A and B are shown apart, each in its own frame.
Chain A
Amino acid sequence: MTIIDMFTNPFFQTALIAGLLASFASGIVGSYVVVKRIVFLSGSIAHSVLSGMGVFLFLQRKYNLMFLNPLYGAIIAAILSAVIIGWIHLNYSQRKDAVIASIWSTGMAIGVIFISLTPGYNVELFDFLFGNILWVTKLDLIVLCFLNLFLIVVVGINYQKLLAICVDEEQAKLQGLSVNRLYLLLLCLVAITVVLLIQVIGIILIIALLALPPMIASFFTNRLWKMMVIAFIFCGAFNFIGLVISYQFNLPTGATISLVATAVYLTILSFNRQKYKKIYN
């Protein structure tokens, strides 16, 4: 297959646009996730999304409710789990990591059961878990566009306030900011980003695109907004390179993108290893 064939393929073109849309979200929200150190928490939101996707797929197939796109189920489950996890984080003082991990596995368990109850041959489970960017539809692209727009507007308006709670929640509270509300907002933004990234890389590999581009960006800047821009560029590049490699060598796209991101991160880290080496062992 020639390069021209690849770029003229409508599936490939749609996949490229989906990857670009997901990169926006990854760059912006992933940067907050990394600096706020809520990667594990975001992983929990990502994995519990399978419950919504599974339920909607079941209802769609069993009762022929074609309007119940699993993507909508993902949005509902992501927001719901973000709110529950946020509530636990804000109200539980002990062992909250264990409770959050339980939500992680419960969400996946519900999803797996509903997908197994869904009539017909269920290839969707594999797509949900590992992503299949080549099967993104035009309708999916429109939904992704709106989610991105929402994300950019909300972050644009609340950038300083979200920065304040990421740096120091107590200080933000003293400034009269509604810290709990902003924290829940941040988790809801993570939830939307998760939905955007599931299309590209799937539930299991989502952390790669949420954390690695901002971590790489942090090597190049000391400003959060610059970190977001650089992370977006890197994420877009990983999606593009991963897509091309997977298309050429017939490899799973999500896994290829994830490995490209990891390879770039390790390469840049090796050039900066002196800077980030622990002083004491």
Chain B
Amino acid sequence: MNLAIEVKNLSFAYKETKVLDDVSFSIEENSFTGIIGPNGGGKTTLLKLLIGLYKSTNGSIKIFGDDPEKFTNKIGYVPQINMYDPAFPITVKELVMLGCVSSYSFRSGYPKSSVDSAMNAIELLGLMPYLNTTFGQLSGGMAQRALIARSLASDPVLLFLDEPTANVDPKTRDLIYEVLNTLRSKKTILMVTHDLNTTIKYVDSIISVEKKVSTYLPEKICEHFSLGLYHTPLMKEKENDNN
């Protein structure tokens, strides 16, 4: 298996506040990884570092052996839904098409391959009946589906999702997991989540983030969590000492 993501000694601080401290881990190509951790633990920051939106203070990130900036339009990113202005005048179709805006040209518009890819994503997420609906008028679950469709419009090799199942009903949550499950053989997926119970059924591994990072197999995570809500490396050391 090739490594899709390789992080070495990564640190990041917001001014004086250190959010990630000397973090190292790797993720295999075409795997599905869940990222868990407490609020403010650095999950979203880690995601934004991986996609190249933030610059690290120290350490290195390699995406398929290269800098993240070189993979800009090959990365699909689903941000937290509360970032959006519900009054923005944009339809679902327009929003999804913006997921491949880099392929747009003034003279010929979007190429057929981009339109096909965007329409496939819309169909996959069950959004065909909502093509011309205003994005802001969608329910939370539908809006989340539209954001996932947008992230898939450019047919990315890496897919990063920031709490895509937060504030959605169980039916939509299951649909999102099913969609991600169908994509796992073709894309490397990283998903920040608090929904551990469902996540462990689907993912290949789980990364726990709280300044430091620990990687677990899903079947082992409950065992570690018996020591506390988020099992930190420090706790792991204590556990080993006790044993």
Which residues of chain A have a CB within 8 Å of any CB of chain B?
35, 37, 156-158, 160-161, 163-164, 166-168, 170-177, 218, 221-224, 226-227
Contact = CB atoms under 8 A, between A and B. Distances in A.
Given A160-B101, A176-B102, A223-B94, A171 B89 contact: no
B189 to A, nearest CB: 16
B87 interface: yes
B77 A222 contact: no
Interface residues of B, number: 30
Given A176-B72, A222-B90, A37 B85 contact: yes
B218 to A, nearest CB: 28
Contacts of B98: 160, 163-164, 167-168, 171-172, 175
A168 B101 contact: no
A175 B89 contact: no
B71 to A, nearest CB: 9
Contacts of B104: 160-161
17 contacts: A35-B89, A160-B101, A164-B101, A168-B98, A171-B98, A171-B99, A171-B150, A173-B53, A174-B75, A175-B99, A175-B100, A176-B73, A218-B89, A221-B89, A222-B133, A223-B90, A223-B91
**Central interface residue in B84, B87, B133, by most chain A CB within 10 Å:** B87
Contacts of B99: 171, 175
Given A175-B99, A227-B89, 7 more contacts: A157-B106, A161-B101, A168-B79, A170-B77, A173-B72, A175-B102, A222-B134
Nearest to B52: A174
Contacts of B53: 170, 173-174
Interface string B85-124: 1011111001100111110101000000000000000000
A57 to B, nearest CB: 39
Contacts, number: 77
Contacts of A158: 106
B154 interface: yes
A226 B99 CA distance: 21
A174 B77 CA distance: 8
B91 to A, nearest CB: 6
B102 A167 contact: no
B90 A171 contact: no
A176 B137 CA distance: 29
Nearest to B76: A174
B101 A223 contact: no
